[in-house]
Amino acid sequence: MLALLLSPFCLQAQDLDGDLDGDLDFSDLLGSQSQMIPSPQPESTSPGNWIFEGEIRPSVWYPMKSPHDLKTTNRMDLFVEKQHRNTTFAVRARADYQNINDDEGTEADIRELYLTQRWQAGRTHVSLSAGRKILYWGKGDEIRPMDRINPEDMTSFLYYDKNDRKTGIPGLFLNTVMPQGLRVEAFWSPVFVGSSLPEPDSYFSPSRMEAFRKAGGLIRNADEDWQWEADASLGLRVAFPLRHADLSLYAWKGKDPMPTLKVSRVIREIPLPTPPYVMDIPPTPTELSYFHSNALVFGTDLELTAGSFVFRAEGAWQAEGHHERVNFEKNPSLLNRFTNGLAEKQKGEFLIGMDRNDLFVRNLFVNVQYMAVLIHDHEEALEADAFTQGFSFTLKYSLLDSRISGMWRVFTWLNSQDRQHQIELSWKPARNTLFTLGAFFYDGGTEKDLFGQFREKDFSFLRVGVLF
Q: Look at residue 405 and give its three-state secondary structure.
A: strand
Q: Which pLDDT belongs to residue 150? A: 95
Q: What is the mean pLDDT of the chain?
A: 86
- Please give the Cα distance from 140 to 302 (Å, whole number): 10
Looking at residue 242, its amino acid is: L
Residue 456: pLDDT over 80: yes
% pLDDT > 90, the chain: 65
Q: How confident is the model at residue 29 (pLDDT cuts 50, 70, 90)?
A: very low
Is residue 9 within 8 Å of residue 15, measured between CB atoms? yes
Q: What are the tens digits of pLDDT across the range 103-155?
A: 567 888 999 999 999 999 989 999 999 999 999 999 888 889 999 999 998 88
Enclosing H/E stretch for 239: strand 227-242
pLDDT reading at 238 higher than 50: yes
| Mean pLDDT in residue range 243-262 | 94
Residues in the chain: 468
pLDDT by residue (tens digit) across 36-92? 333 333 333 444 589 999 999 999 989 988 878 888 889 999 999 999 999 999 999
Could you count the other beta carbons within 10 Å of the beta carbon of residue 216?
8
Least confident of 117-126, 203-212, 277-286: 203-212
Reported as a single tens digit per residue, the pLDDT across 8-22 is 333 333 333 333 333
Residue 418 pLDDT class (50, 70, 90 cuts): very high
pLDDT at 1 over 80: no
* Largest separation between any pair of C-alpha atoms in the chain: 87
Residue 351 has pLDDT above 60, yes or no: yes
| CA 430 centroid distance within chain | 30
CA distance 433 to 210: 38
Q: pLDDT at position 34, please? A: 33
- Strand, coil or helix: 336: helix
H or E, element range at 91: strand 87-98
Measured over the CA atoms of residue 288, residue 289, residue 294 and residue 298, the dihedral's sign is positive
Residue 433's pLDDT band, with cuts at 50, 70 and 90, is very high
